[in-house]
Structure 1
Amino acid sequence: MSGSVDAGGSLLPRLQRDQANARREQLKDRVLLLGMIISEVKNREIELRRDATDDDVIDVIRKGIKKRRESVELYGKAGRTDLLEKEQSEVTALEVYLPAQVDPEELRAAVRAAMQGGAVNIGAVMAKVMPQFKGRVEGGTINAIVREELARG
């Protein structure tokens, strides 16, 4: 998948095709998972009053992954390995729709550049770096690198 995103996007039709294929192959869990994501994208379109772009779809998928990772953590603490494995498999299934991850060194270089440009606290550095990597890196990952770099001084 390329880094450029066009209005209207190609990710939603891909999700819909994959759901139809899963339905034909009788993969009930996958049909339900993709149906849930497609539904959330449709709700987002209603909210935005326009068709979803690939960036919008990626945001929905990232939120879905984040929600499931939180569930994995909770189920792990509760000792519910059956539910933990189901949530983890959903995370893995959704990750295939995300763009390739950014090299951590590229991220670190952007953080250092922001700090050299005068950003001296987490909020200021995040404000400069986040737009450069929108939709390609989770905020938590950027935040961790910012904290490391600020600690180094």
Structure 2
Amino acid sequence: MKLPIIFFVGFFSCLPLYGQKTLEKLLEKYHQNTIPYLYVDSLAKHYNKFVLLDSRTPKEYQVSHLENAIFIGYHSFSLDSVIQKIPDKDTELVVYCSLGMRSEKIANKLKQAGYIHVNNLYGGIFQWKNNNLPVYNNQNKKTDSIHAFSKSWSKWLKNGIKVYE
């Protein structure tokens, strides 16, 4: 009698652990391994070396973005617009979004267009904010607000004020 109870308790106590994924596992699932990651700590140390490109929606960008990031969008992405803003294809680029999936797709387009040094920010703006690094609003003032993209993705944002609209 004790064995089935121990099994039952042991089995169901492990279920919550099984359902939780790490950020690493999530990104592993969606990452295509076509664009190298740049990790938050590396970007923070060498920030001025890179041109940052925000590949989220206009609403997400307006809530907050990395300092001096250029909005390039995702659905509204225009390669011609990027080429006009950044004609030197040897420029060190870092593309980011919320977590890194949309930015990888945009980074691939930049790579195919001949940009040589294209990186994808590991964990995106969520990981940046989770490391207590600053983000800026539309008036270029520091803010704690981050557009959380969706309720399901927002679980990956541990720091800051989650905004959904």
TM-score (norm 2): 0.22
TM-score (norm 1): 0.23
Structure that is richer in helix per residue: 1
Structure possessing the higher relative contact order (Cα contacts under 8 Å, 6 or more residues apart): 2
Q: Which protein is bigger by CA-based radius of gyration?
A: 2
